[in-house]
């Protein structure tokens, strides 16, 4: 009797999931994979799908309309005519996806590695007058966290309002005692989709991977660096952590503040009023053109993937990509191969050392196909390289939080800054060349001779690529 009841319940649940997959499946390959998992792995297949497979773009449970918060400015003729119109297509694409037009009157400072980045961050925080907005995927306790705690206490006494968002999974190790101290001094701190059993299945796979600091709506920071002492001291397993961050002063900083404000509403249900400081935010001594692109699982289209795809396909001379997790889907793979076969100098740089073996095997599983198309691949040997950089043709570059994988494009909340500036692009190009000089460049012929054990590991890793 009970066996029959359980079987009927299982069939009903499995049938409803199958119908949902058929109606809302985003990609045929993934749809087929999930159908096979459900039919061949009783119970386990369904649980995996509920955890990792649902298409958030369709059910819109987390949908936040940007128009609810601000009427963002529309792009002007001057904006869209920048660089003699060469990147108008990209500018319009980003605007339609993220609703942020390109803005001039920005001043940028490239920050390489933890020491330089945190020196700049703490200097800016110390000069805060009205508000500090801070949001991180990983916020770990240690010297940096304690230094922030002390600084926040001083600024709150001075009348500065401090708001903080930390990801519920990425910052899972953050202790209750530290959070109690934060809230005790007056910091308004909220987790993003915290680990709770009641909504475990619906939220585990959707993380906020953004790293944002905005001070008074005028100065902002974003990039790959989290709040963790390993960016200053390294760690025993990997050694030094190398990463890139960006400091922005000007109108683009206000757009990062919009993104924080939307995430803040999601976690706190509080609307942040636009400040006078933010409205006047512009760096008068610079005219650097910057466009902010944000993406998340509640957007209609994968905005970061489309932006990366467009930058790759528009490259004429070269495109250099630094990223620790290059796990290209079909569109990005085709774009890279087409560019290389068409004569564009395509170079990829990844870390030789990895923070996750399965992810590393998956990344390397694409090397043979990429090398065959004439793409140059460099393995950076010193510690762990975590930067997320693209630079092309000495004209355009992007720096931010998004990796080249489906997780960043489909499941995570991410943010990047696209910079339409020759001098900034040349700076990143030169930095890539310096790192390439100390890296190992792979050879297609030599790579074919790798041991079968490595090929087997790569094959195993590739199977898990849709879940990584």
Active site (catalytic) residues? 209, 211, 216, 386, 388, 393
Query: Rounded to whole angstroms, how far apart are CA atoms 268 and 191?
Result: 9
Query: Rounded to whole angstroms, how far apart are CA atoms 133 and 226?
Result: 15
Identify whether the C-beta of residue 386 lies closer than 8 Å to the C-beta of residue 351: yes
Q: How many CB atoms lie within 10 A of CB 446?
A: 9
| Residues contacting residue 440 through CB under 8 Å, at least 6 positions apart | 352, 378, 379, 381
Distance from the first to the final alpha carbon of the chain: 41
**CA separation (Å) from 29 to 134, 329, 467?**
38, 11, 13
Checking 458-461 for CB contacts under 8 A at 24+ apart, the result is 458/361, 458/362, 458/364, 458/365, 459/365, 460/358, 460/361, 461/358, 461/359, 461/360, 461/361, 461/362, 461/363, 461/364, 461/365
Cα–Cα nearest to 391, from 318, 329, 289: 318
Q: Classify residue 273 by its DSSP letter.
A: P
Query: Rounded to whole angstroms, how far apart are CA atoms 207 and 350?
Result: 23
Identify whether the C-beta of residue 289 lies closer than 8 Å to the C-beta of residue 327: no
Identify whether the C-beta of residue 322 lies closer than 8 Å to the C-beta of residue 387: yes
H or E stretch covering 357? helix 357-364
**CA separation (Å) from 173 to 196, 199, 238, 354?**
15, 19, 20, 21
Hunting for tokens 């230094």 — which residue is that?
A: 147
Tell me the two tokens of residue 457: 């590991």
Which residues does residue 289 pair with via DSSP β-bridges, in sequence order?
Answer: 420
| Residues contacting residue 148 through CB under 8 Å, at least 6 positions apart | 125, 134, 227
Hunting for tokens 């297609």 — which residue is that?
A: 444
Cα–Cα nearest to 417, from 391, 384, 436: 391
Question: From the centroid of its chain, how far is CA 208?
Answer: 8
- Is residue 62 classed exposed, middle or buried when 0-12, 13-18 and 19+ CB atoms within 10 A define those classes? middle
Residue 100 exposure: Cα atoms within 13 Å on the Cβ side = 25
The dihedrals phi and psi of 281, each to the nearest 5 degrees, come to -70, 110
């Amino acid at each position: 009797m009970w066996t029959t009841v359980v079987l009927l319940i299982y069939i009903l649940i499995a049938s409803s999931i199958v119908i949902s997959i058929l109606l809302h499946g985003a990609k045929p390959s993934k749809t087929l994979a999930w159908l096979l998992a459900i039919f061949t792995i009783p119970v386990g297949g369904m649980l995996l799908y509920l955890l990792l497979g649902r298409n958030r773009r369709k059910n819109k449970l987390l949908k936040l309309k940007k128009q609810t918060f601000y009427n963002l400015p529309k792009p002007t003729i001057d904006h869209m005519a920048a660089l003699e119109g060469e990147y108008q297509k990209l500018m319009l694409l980003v605007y339609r996806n993220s609703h942020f037009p390109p803005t001039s009157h920005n001043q940028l400072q490239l920050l390489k590695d933890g020491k330089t980045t945190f020196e700049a961050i703490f200097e800016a925080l110390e000069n805060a007058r009205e508000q500090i907005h801070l949001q991180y995927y990983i916020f770990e306790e240690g010297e940096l966290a304690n230094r922030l705690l002390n600084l926040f206490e001083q600024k709150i006494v001075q009348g500065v309002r401090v708001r903080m968002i930390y990801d519920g999974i990425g910052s899972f190790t953050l202790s209750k005692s530290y959070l109690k101290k934060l809230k005790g001094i007056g910091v308004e701190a909220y987790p993003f989709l915290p680990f709770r059993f009641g909504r475990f299945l619906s939220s585990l796979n959707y993380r906020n991977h953004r790293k944002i600091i905005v001070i008074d709506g005028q100065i902002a920071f974003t990039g790959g660096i989290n709040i963790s002492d390993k960016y200053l001291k390294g760690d025993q397993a990997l050694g030094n952590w190398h990463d890139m961050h960006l400091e922005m002063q000007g109108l683009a900083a206000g757009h990062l503040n919009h993104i924080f404000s939307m995430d803040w509403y999601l976690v706190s249900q509080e609307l942040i009023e636009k400040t006078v400081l933010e409205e006047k935010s512009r760096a008068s001594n610079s005219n650097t053109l910057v466009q902010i692109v944000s993406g998340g699982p509640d957007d209609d289209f994968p905005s970061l993937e489309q932006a990366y795809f467009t930058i790759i396909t528009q490259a004429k001379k070269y495109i250099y990509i630094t990223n620790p997790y290059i796990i290209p889907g079909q569109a990005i793979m085709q774009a890279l191969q087409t560019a290389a076969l068409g004569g564009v100098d395509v170079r990829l740089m990844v870390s030789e050392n990895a923070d996750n073996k399965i992810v590393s095997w998956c990344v390397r599983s694409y090397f043979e196909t990429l090398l065959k198309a004439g793409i140059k691949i460099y393995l950076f040997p010193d510690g762990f390289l975590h930067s997320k950089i693209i630079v092309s043709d000495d004209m355009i570059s992007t720096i931010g939080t998004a990796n080249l994988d489906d997780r960043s494009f489909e499941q995570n909340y991410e943010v990047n800054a696209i910079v339409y500036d020759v001098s900034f692009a040349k700076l990143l190009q030169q930095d890539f060349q310096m790192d390439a000089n100390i890296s190992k460049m792979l050879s297609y012929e030599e790579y074919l001779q790798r041991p079968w054990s490595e090929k087997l590991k790569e094959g195993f890793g590739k199977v898990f690529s849709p879940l990584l």
